[in-house]
């Protein structure tokens, strides 16, 4: 079942076309991630879906509801964590949550949210004294206070240290367990790969591709990079290279000192043949690795751009 | 959650925000109190006894005329005769030179001698004290002349001072009401800086993402600001009345109306500033200039009538002029609701408030289209 459907969204600011043509739909219970370089139109797309910015063209449907007719009902159903984690700095996390709870018809108990975002200990400190990660967690908590079905998280981990980032991943995975739908934007490929059910790559206001992370990587290429480092030195590596070049599955080889690199469409077969060869020649192989393909490679392949964190 | 509960929760949050904002306390409470105390100490110290002067009397050659004049002079409460006794002319002149006394009066040296001498320091030649003293002596001379020819004075001056209502307006009252007007006005003009901060940090945007009723949020904010101003009025009045002896004759209905309209108008002015200021500093700059100009041109510290004629029309345009006057009317003169002057002032305040609010709202809308991100 689709909880959100977006069709042909377009938005310009003056002469800048922030969003050219974006359509997708999100299923109940999935983590849907939008990735793309800065200025790709991620935030504008989110803000249109959240009802903050009116699209120049296109439709947004939350099930049967749309912004024109059901603005308040939609706001009751969604929770938003905007990029600027805006909250009342002079209030405590507890007071912020209590205040936001009054905005909604139904709200989860504040203590429950504090537990979930791991801020129970700091519930009585003013927000201005919290660390970046704690603020960010509170921002997510504020998005969850109304127990919404759909949660929007706009770059929730940007600028956080690895541990704080992991904290937030735990919260997102927890939301998934609760059956919530999460729409996420991120700068970190690793994060998109780890958390998302589906990834949507956006560039220059258009969708480049949408699929599951593994399918995207699969789609990318059939060739995998395999490395073997020989304990017996360059000569052994050179012989290995000559052997590998004659295998049908190997596309090409490269040698750096005692390390042999090769690109193959069937890593299993290639490795089996290679190990037969080393066994016969009694060469010792110190390290073997098959390089993992990541979303980063997908991104580079689809957009032709280098990824920068 | 119903509207009233939402209001209560929002109000309690606003209350906490205000109580925890140190700047609000400094500029809203501490600063006006200090400013008022300083002005009152400097300028209202002499208002209790309007004129008093220390003099020396020289009667080198006591005679019936000089005895008679001496006794009259010493009876005048406003003249304080140094040492209480006549002194030699040399001593008296030395005192004048050293400014230990304001003046020396040399009494006639014999019954036939009819001239007084008033000795003053060159520096004080044109001073108020000198003029007052010579007027006093003049009067005594005239009386002496009249009695010398055996005539009773035909014309007499009786002194009476008038104010429009209660007759006890003195500088303390004037300053107290001016300071209350100023601090409420500043509270409005400076207070809206929160809005700039809220917008800069994206908090307004954040609230718009929730189904929160912004009208109720605005109302709770406004009620908080009005309450803060009530605290300002009470605190300044208490200090004025109990420490500096101000006299207040309050017309409650007039005060409530003037207070509400004034406070709302100045908040509207602050709202206007916030609509075109993108940073806190920009806002504070504008608010400071406007408040500084008004502080001195609106008859807060000194009556407008004492200012140069060409400046007065400007004062007559400023809202603070009418707010201060309105507060004076309702707090000192006990002016009721049937005064046309009062309503004229309220009218000017309403015009300022409405224009500021409309212009501010228009600028907010316009900006939200241009800078939708």
Could you report the per-residue pLDDT of B247-258, keeping only the tens digit for each?
888 889 999 999
According to the model, what pLDDT value does residue A221 have?
A: 64
Residue B6 domain-assigned (yes or no):
no
pLDDT at B48: 47
Whole-number pLDDT of residue B154: 61
Of residues B109 and B358, which shows the higher confidence score? B358
Question: pLDDT value at position A307?
Answer: 61
**pLDDT score at B350:** 96
* Residue B29 lies in domain: 11-44+170-370
d(Cα B129, Cα A145) in Å, to the nearest integer? 75
- For the stretch B14-39, pLDDT in tens is 999 888 888 778 878 888 889 888 88
A23/B132: higher pLDDT: A23
Which of B118, B148, B178 is the last residue in one of the domains?
B148
Distance CA B315, CA B322 (A): 9
Residue B231 token pair: 């605290």
> Do B224 and B335 sit in the same domain of this protein?
yes
In a domain, B316, yes or no: yes
Task: Provide CB contacts within 8 A for B146, sequence distance 6+.
Answer: B152, B153
- Asked if residue B307 is part of any domain, the answer here is yes
Structural domains of chain A ordered from first start: 2-218 (3.40.50.300), 222-292 (3.30.70.100)
At CB < 8 Å, which residues of chain B contact A? 1, 5-6, 9-10, 13, 16-17, 20-21, 201-203, 205-206, 208-212, 372-373
Interface test with B, best of A99, A126, A139, A142 (most B CBs within 10 A): A99
Residue A49 confidence (pLDDT): 93
pLDDT above 80 for B188: yes
Q: Are residues B136 and B264 in the same domain?
A: no
* pLDDT at site A306: 66
Higher pLDDT, A163 or B149: A163
Give yes or no: residues B175 and B129 share one domain: no
For residue B164, being part of any structural domain is answered with no
User: What average pLDDT score do residues B2-14 get?
Assistant: 87
Is residue A237 scored above 70 in pLDDT? yes
Most distant CA pair in chain A: distance in Å? 76
**pLDDT in the model for residue B49:** 46
- Of the pLDDT bands very low, low, confident and very high (cuts 50, 70, 90), residue A126 is very high
- Pairing label, strands A78-81, A16-27: unpaired
Distance from CA of A88 to the nearest CA of B (A): 8
pLDDT, residue A214, reads 83
Residue B98's CB: how many other CB atoms inside 10 A?
Answer: 9
| Burial environment of residue B161 by CB neighbours within 10 A (0 to 12, 13 to 18, 19 or more) | exposed
Residue A145 reports pLDDT greater than 70: yes
Q: Do B123 and B189 share a domain, yes or no?
A: no
Is B19 a member of any domain?
Answer: yes
Non-local (6+) Cβ contacts of A127 within 8 A are A87, A88, A89, A90, A91, A92, A93, A96, A135, A138
Same domain, B241 and B279: yes
Q: Above 90 in pLDDT, residue A198?
A: yes
Helix (H) or strand (E) holding A286: strand A285-290
> Do residues B267 and B128 both lie within one domain?
no
Residues B93 and B141 occupy one common structural domain: yes
pLDDT of A1 above 80: no
Q: What is the model's pLDDT at position B158?
A: 54
Q: How far apart are CA B135 and CA A234, in angstroms?
A: 122
Measured in degrees and rounded to the nearest 5, phi and psi for residue A51 equal 85, 10
A18 contacts in B (CB within 8 Å)?
Answer: 373
Return all residues near B15 (Cβ < 8 A) that are at least 6 apart: B224
pTM higher than the cut 0.90: no
Residue of B nearest to A148 (CA): B210
- Chain A residues whose CB is inside 8 A of the B20 CB are 90, 126
* pLDDT, averaged across chain A: 88
Q: How many structural domains comprise chain B?
A: 2
Neighbours of A286 (CB within 10 A): 11
Q: Is the pLDDT of residue B327 over 70?
A: yes
Last residue of a domain, one of B101, B116, B148: B148
- In this predicted structure, the answer to whether residue A128 has a pLDDT above a threshold of 80 is yes
Judgement on whether residues B334 and B194 belong to the same structural domain of the protein: yes
Measured CA to CA, the distance from residue B1 to residue B196 in angstroms comes to: 29
Q: Are residues B79 and B196 in the same domain?
A: no
Does the pLDDT at position B45 exceed 80?
no
Q: Is residue B329 part of a domain?
A: yes
Question: Residues of chain A whose C-beta is under 8 A from some C-beta in B?
Answer: 13, 18, 43-44, 47, 50-53, 72, 75-76, 80, 82, 84, 86-88, 90-91, 95, 98-100, 102-105, 126, 146
Per-residue pLDDT tens digits for A31-52: 999 988 878 888 899 999 998 8
Tokens of B133: 């003293």
More reliable by pLDDT, B167 or A108:
A108
Rounded mean pLDDT, B111-117: 72
B104 in the same domain as B179? no
Q: Which of B82, B114, B148 is the last residue of a domain?
A: B148
Q: Judge whether B4 lies within some domain.
A: no
**What is the nearest CA distance from A50 to chain B, expressed in angstroms?**
7
The CATH number assigned to the domain holding B103 equals: 3.40.190.10
Q: B240 and B94 in one domain?
A: no
- Asked if residue B1 is part of any domain, the answer here is no
Question: Is the domain of B57 the same as that of B34?
Answer: no
> What are the structure tokens assigned to B330, written together?
């309702």
The whole-number average pLDDT for the span B335-350 is 89
pLDDT in tens, B47-59: 444 556 778 888 7
Give the Cα separation of B170 and A140 in Å (integer). Answer: 60
Rounded average pLDDT over A260-273: 87
pLDDT for position B165: 46
* Average pLDDT value for residue range A107-117: 91
pLDDT of residue B258: 94
């Amino acid at each position: 079942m689709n909880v959100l459907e977006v069709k042909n969204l377009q938005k310009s600011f003056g002469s800048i076309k922030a969003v050219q043509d974006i359509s997708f739909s999100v299923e109940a219970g999935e983590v849907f991630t939008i990735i793309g370089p800065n200025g790709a139109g991620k935030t504008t797309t989110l803000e249109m879906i959240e009802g903050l910015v009116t699209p120049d063209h296109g439709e947004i449907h939350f099930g049967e509801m749309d912004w024109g007719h059901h603005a308040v009902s939609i706001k009751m159903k969604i929770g938003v964590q905007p990029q600027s984690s805006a909250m009342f700095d002079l209030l405590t996390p507890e007071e912020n949550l209590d205040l936001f709870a009054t905005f909604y018809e139904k709200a989860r108990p504040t203590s429950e949210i504090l537990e979930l975002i791991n801020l129970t200990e700091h519930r009585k400190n003013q927000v201005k004294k919290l660390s970046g990660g704690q603020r960010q967690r509170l921002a997510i908590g504020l998005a969850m206070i109304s127990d919404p079905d759909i949660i929007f998280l706009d770059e929730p981990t940007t600028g956080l240290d690895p541990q704080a980032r992991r904290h937030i991943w735990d919260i997102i995975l927890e939301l998934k367990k609760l059956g919530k739908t999460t729409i996420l934007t991120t700068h970190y490929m690793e994060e998109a790969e780890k958390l998302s059910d589906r990834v949507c790559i956006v560039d220059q206001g258009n969708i480049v591709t949408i699929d599951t992370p593994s399918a995207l990587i699969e789609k990318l290429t059939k060739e995998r990079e395999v490395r073997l480092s020989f304990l017996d030195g360059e000569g052994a590596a050179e012989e290995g290279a000559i052997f590998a070049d004659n295998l049908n599955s190997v596309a090409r080889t490269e040698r750096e000192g005692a390390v042999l690199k090769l690109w193959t469409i069937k890593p299993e077969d290639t490795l089996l043949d290679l190990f037969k060869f080393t066994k016969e020649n009694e060469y010792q192989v110190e390290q073997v690795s098959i390089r993992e393909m990541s979303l980063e490679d997908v991104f580079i392949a689809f957009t032709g751009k280098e990824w920068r964190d | 959650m119903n509207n009233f509960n939402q209001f209560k929760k929002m109000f309690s949050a606003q209350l906490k925000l205000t109580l925890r904002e140190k700047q609000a306390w400094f500029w809203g409470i501490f600063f006006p109190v200090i400013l008022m105390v300083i002005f009152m100490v400097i300028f209202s110290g002499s208002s209790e006894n309007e004129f008093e002067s220390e003099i020396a009397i020289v009667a080198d050659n006591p005679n019936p005329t000089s005895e008679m004049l001496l006794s009259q002079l010493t009876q005048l409460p406003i003249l304080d005769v140094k040492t209480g006794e006549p002194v030699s002319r040399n001593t008296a002149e030395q005192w004048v030179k050293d400014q230990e006394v304001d003046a020396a009066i040399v009494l006639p040296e014999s019954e036939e001698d009819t001239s007084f001498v008033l000795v003053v320091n060159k520096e004080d030649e044109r001073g108020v004290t000198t003029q007052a003293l010579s007027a006093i002596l003049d009067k005594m001379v005239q009386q002496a002349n009249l009695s010398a020819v055996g005539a009773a004075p035909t014309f007499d001056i009786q002194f009476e001072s008038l104010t429009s209502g209660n007759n006890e307006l003195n500088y303390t009252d004037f300053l107290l009401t001016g300071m209350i007007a100023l601090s409420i006005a500043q509270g409005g003009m400076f207070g809206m800086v929160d809005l700039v901060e809220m917008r800069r940090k994206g908090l307004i945007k954040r609230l718009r993402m929730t189904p929160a009723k912004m009208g109720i949020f605005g109302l709770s904010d406004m009620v908080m600001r009005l309450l803060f101003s009530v605290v300002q009025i009470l605190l300044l009045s208490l200090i004025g009345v109990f420490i500096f002896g101000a006299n207040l004759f309050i017309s409650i209905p007039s005060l409530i109306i003037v207070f509400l309209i004034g406070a709302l108008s100045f908040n509207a002015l602050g709202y206007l500033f916030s609509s075109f200021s993108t940073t806190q500093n920009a806002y504070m700059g504008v608010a400071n200039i406007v408040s500084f100009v008004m502080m001195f041109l609106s008859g807060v510290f000194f009556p407008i009538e004492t200012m140069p004629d060409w400046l007065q029309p400007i004062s007559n345009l400023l809202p603070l002029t009418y707010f201060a006057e309105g507060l004076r009317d309702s707090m000192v003169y006990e002016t009721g609701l049937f005064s046309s002057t009062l309503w004229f002032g309220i009218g000017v305040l309403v015009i300022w408030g409405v224009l500021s609010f409309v212009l501010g709202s228009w600028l907010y809308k316009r900006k939200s289209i241009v800078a939708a991100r």
